[in-house]
Structure 1
Amino acid sequence: MSPTPDSQRVWPVHIEVRVSANATARFDTIRNAIYNYITSSFSHLYLPSTLQGWDEIPLLASSVDRVYASESQSCPSPSLPLQQVDLQIHVYQPSDSDAFEELASGSGRGDGEEVMAASVCELPSLGWEGLWESLIYSDDIKSKLLDYIYATVVFSDADVDFNIVSWNRMVLLHGPPGTGKTSLCRALSQKLSIRLADRYPHSRLLEINSHSLFSKWFSESGKLVQKLFSTVMDMVEDEETFVVVLIDEVESLTAARAGAMAGTEPSDALRVVNALLTQLDKLKHRKNVLVMSTSNLAKAIDSAFVDRADIIQYVDLPPREAIYEILRTCLSELVTKGIIDDVEVPNLTQAQLYERISTFPHNGTGISLEANGPPRQDSHFVGEAKERSKQVALRLLTIAEKCRGQGMSGRSLRRLPVLAHARYIGTLSMLAPRLTNGTHGTKMKPRSGYPQDARGSPTKVEVWLDAMERVVDGQAVERNRLEH
């Protein structure tokens, strides 16, 4: 039987509906209202996009903060006609970002040796809203991880014989520092808590501090691991709670095991890793748990740990295309907040188009397309804004190439606007006080001493581009000094 062509396929599209803190409507009522709103208001859905117009419905206006069309699994097109869409509507209410607790470990000898062994965060968390969208990679890492989780859920629901088809529910992310491995784990946890809310009403992320699993007392370290994972098992016992266990910098454990086997570390280090592997083997039989780990030193990871990972994913430094998107989102955020004057920063596809045609003196219509050419004279203001937007895109591509040449990480890239301001722009005019809470839309009283109509003086985007490029050039000099 021939496969169904893409033009006739029905694609699942995930719609994430964030409910406000003061909402009183039932989630199923909100879900039905969102379904009716989408099916009656749209002919196509663009992915990803924030949907507009729902606030004209009184029920949704009083209960909902945001409606977001996230993505469609394996769909090749960013735009889908509604008749080809299978709406997957996820209604959720994020918890306060400070809603976490710390789990302490100790030797039990009464010597005061207490170390924070792990932190537990309730999901979805308000503090991690937007984290998933902010992470930009060169390949489809995020979709690959999501597809893996969906596969484990399907196999678990079908009661596949674990002795015949086995999976460990473990993911290992490795790569250079600053590439967003830990952030990706947190973002994936947040995403899963939203997508699996119908199945698991509660979700938690437990982040393990690997260094805390070693005790100064001989033979105590293995007991600390067992004590910690007994807490994890207690959480997993509640079948309505989805638990994500994150082991950050796992090489600190596996490197210790390698050293112990070589005779350079005490045998207690070997016990702690063996205990960890034993506890992980117990967790794999639970349907409501996922173990994620990160490492900056792949060569130091023990083969026994690596062998247990279903997915081993390398997270590389961003290429020029990903760097452009990271810097674009930074500039767009500053435009939105009024720090940079109003300008459209083109997306990567548009920027690459500008780059291709900028090498030609004319495009066949008599309109100059040179990078430094004059703005269009027809429809003066619109043409001038478009020309300026093009110049911003070309300049940002140049900066992205410089960043790639230096091997800058995502963490370093997102610091550029702050460093640019601190070093080359100076103090901005005082911005207007925030009169609304952007998260829930509730009114806030302005601080005393500030007029209600105060306005800041945003800086031109060209000034920011100059400053950011100077920071990149300066960092190249400093890195060269550090290396030599």
Structure 2
Amino acid sequence: MNSPLHVEVLQKRESLASKDYIKEIVHSYLANFNTLNPGVTLKINELEENKSIKDHVESITLCDDEHVSEVAITECEFVYHVYKFDIFGVETDTMTDAASGEEIAAADIWALPTEEFHGLWESLIYDSKLKEETLRFVETAFEFADRRVDPNIISWNRVVLLHGPPGTGKTSFCRALAQKLAVRLGDKFPRVRLLEINAHGLFSKWFSESGKLVAKLFEHIREIVEDHSLLACVLVDEVESLAHARRSALAGLEPSDSIRAVNAILTQLDRLKRHPNALVLTTSNVTGAIDLAFVDRADIKRRIGPPSERAAYEILRGCCDEMMARGVVSPREQLFALRILEAVRFADTEGSRASLRLWAVAREAAAAQVSGRAMRRLPFLARALHTRGKPSLAQFIDALQTALQQQLSDARELKDDSLLPNCISCNH
């Protein structure tokens, strides 16, 4: 028997059917297939003949956490996760700075799962097992809590640190992980909240009472985690701001209140680990600036860099598939997965030509260390600036390369302009 295949079922908002009923009809529906391709989302449309599925199910996602190739129905154990989107969305938690009287946006609070983050997990592509390993880490942390493993003997903090250059998807990954947990742990935690805290904002130079603000913010978080049926994912963006505030205060450049605020956050994070329903997710753009006292608290520390050749190809392939699915690029043609190109040793045939051309673009982007954020912008720029009418796939891939080269040229000019004042001063 292979590893279980996780099946995530998005139930229609208007459906009042029980989760058990949804699982039954989806299981019967999937039994009509001989094999299933993990990583695929089956979107149910109005033409679906199965009335039960059409009335109650929006989509069925076959997760690929432990599977890289198609699986036979008879050899697969299914684990179903049925969920609906939360209707509350996001709200901003504000506080008032007593010194300035200004309203401060302390945190954004998302009710999960939310439609805004739907599909985000699947869109993130890495060479490493970052997604699978992080998901297993969180599930194990909750398993240890359920089994009452003594934390004085075995230590874990439920703290994740992601670091790397801007634009590599660190915040997106944290949001996607929280959304994934809302789906996977829905039976254990009927409600999930993602609390996004901007550490940089808390330590802005004019926040003269930042220590009190931190205390008030975490008081609210503690109120939330008192409900043990709710999972709270606390996201601290730009956590390197902790180190900056600590160093500035010690050097006399910031008021002592700043270091009190930093210490308050570290203390509050320590207190959060007492709650088995709290998870802390953090990001940093400046690895060397992260406070060592905080780094020691993180269970998992992972660097996310620009996409490699393989990841770049799969990102661009997904973008092209989306453009063809939406009718922007026509007709629809097949782009092969990289493992298929490798299996045929990148043989140049009529059927593989478009895939090979896209592979060349991906390799060029990876060599230039284009960020994932910038890479996902290329299809838009290719369509807006370098195509007319309804391009074919081959024409669109050519436009992608042109857009890439233009972006690299623009980046070089920006870099040259930033050096210009120094060059001018050297001439005098």
Aligned match of 2:321: 332
The 1:10/1:338 distance shift into structure 2, 3 A limit, reads: closer
Rounded Cα–Cα distance in structure 1 between residues aligned with 2:268 and 2:281: 14
> Residue deviations 1:19-75, cap 9 Å, x none?
11111211221123223443x4344433122358995433222110111111344x5
Equivalent residues in 2 for 1:295-444, closer than 5 Å: 295-342=284-331, 343-353=333-343, 356-358=346-348, 369=349, 387=350, 389-426=351-388, 428=389
Rounded Cα–Cα distance in structure 1 between residues aligned with 2:201 and 2:106: 5
Q: Report if aligned partners of 1:124, 1:190 keep a CA contact under 8 Å in 2.
A: yes
Aligned match of 2:12: 20
Aligned match of 1:444: none
> Residue deviations 1:270-306, cap 9 Å, x none?
1111000010001001111111000010100010000
Bigger shift: 64-73 or 125-134? 64-73
Q: Which 5+ residue runs of structure 1 have no aligned equivalent?
A: 1-8, 359-368, 370-386, 429-457
Give the secondary-structure state (helix, strand or coil) at the position aligned to 1:137. Answer: coil
Instruction: Please state how far the C-alpha of 1:86 moved relative to its aligned partner.
Output: 2.7
Aligned match of 1:466: 398
> Residue deviations 1:374-432, cap 9 Å, x none?
xxxxxxxxxxxxx2x41111111111111112110000001111112222225x4xxxx
Instruction: Please state how far the C-alpha of 1:347 moved relative to its aligned partner.
Output: 1.8
Residue in structure 2 matching 1:119, options 86, 105, 108:
108
Instruction: Please state how far the C-alpha of 1:209 moved relative to its aligned partner.
Output: 1.8
Rounded Cα–Cα distance in structure 2 between residues aligned with 1:90 and 1:200: 12
Equivalent residues in 2 for 1:270-281, closer than 5 Å: 270-281=259-270
Residue in structure 2 matching 1:286, options 265, 270, 275:
275
Instruction: Please state how far the C-alpha of 1:353 moved relative to its aligned partner.
Output: 4.3
Q: Which 5+ residue runs of structure 2 have no aligned equivalent?
A: 417-428
AA in 2 matched with 1:182: T
Aligned match of 1:480: 412
Aligned match of 2:422: none
Rounded Cα–Cα distance in structure 2 between residues aligned with 1:142 and 1:419: 29
Matched, 1:32 2:24: yes
The 1:35/1:214 distance shift into structure 2, 3 A limit, reads: same
TM-score, normalisation: structure 1? 0.81
Rounded Cα–Cα distance in structure 2 between residues aligned with 1:88 and 1:72: 12
Aligned match of 1:64: 57
Give the greater-gyration-radius structure (CA): 1
Aligned match of 1:373: none
Give the secondary-structure state (helix, strand or coil) at the position aligned to 1:162. Answer: coil
Q: Report if aligned partners of 2:235, 2:282 keep a CA contact under 8 Å in 1.
A: yes
Instruction: Please state how far the C-alpha of 1:135 moved relative to its aligned partner.
Output: 0.6
AA in 2 matched with 1:348: L
Aligned match of 1:11: 3
Rounded Cα–Cα distance in structure 2 between residues aligned with 1:46 and 1:421: 30
Equivalent residues in 2 for 1:98-109, closer than 5 Å: 99-108=89-98
The 1:282/1:291 distance shift into structure 2, 3 A limit, reads: same
Q: Report if aligned partners of 1:15, 1:88 keep a CA contact under 8 Å in 2.
A: yes
Identity %: 41
Rounded Cα–Cα distance in structure 1 between residues aligned with 2:199 and 2:160: 16
The 1:10/1:340 distance shift into structure 2, 3 A limit, reads: closer
Across the aligned residues of Structure 1 and Structure 2, the Cα RMSD in angstroms comes to 2.1
Equivalent residues in 2 for 1:21-100, closer than 5 Å: 21-38=13-30, 40-51=31-42, 55-73=48-66, 77-96=68-87, 99-100=89-90
> Residue deviations 1:325-366, cap 9 Å, x none?
1111111111011110022222222333455323xxxxxxxx
Rounded Cα–Cα distance in structure 2 between residues aligned with 1:52 and 1:104: 38
Aligned match of 1:152: 141
Rounded Cα–Cα distance in structure 2 between residues aligned with 1:46 and 1:341: 25
> Residue deviations 1:162-186, cap 9 Å, x none?
1111211100000011110000000
Rounded Cα–Cα distance in structure 1 between residues aligned with 2:51 and 2:207: 64
> Residue deviations 1:134-180, cap 9 Å, x none?
11112111001101011112111111111111211100000011110
Rounded Cα–Cα distance in structure 2 between residues aligned with 1:331 and 1:71: 21
Instruction: Please state how far the C-alpha of 1:260 moved relative to its aligned partner.
Output: 2.2
Equivalent residues in 2 for 1:219-258, closer than 5 Å: 220-258=209-247
Bigger shift: 239-248 or 254-263? 254-263
Give the secondary-structure state (helix, strand or coil) at the position aligned to 1:182. Answer: helix
Residue in structure 2 matching 1:211, options 169, 193, 200:
200
The 1:421/1:356 distance shift into structure 2, 3 A limit, reads: closer
Aligned match of 2:153: 164
The 1:256/1:216 distance shift into structure 2, 3 A limit, reads: closer
Rounded Cα–Cα distance in structure 2 between residues aligned with 1:45 and 1:467: 34
The 1:215/1:348 distance shift into structure 2, 3 A limit, reads: closer
Give the secondary-structure state (helix, strand or coil) at the position aligned to 1:91. Answer: strand
Give the secondary-structure state (helix, strand or coil) at the position aligned to 2:86. Answer: coil
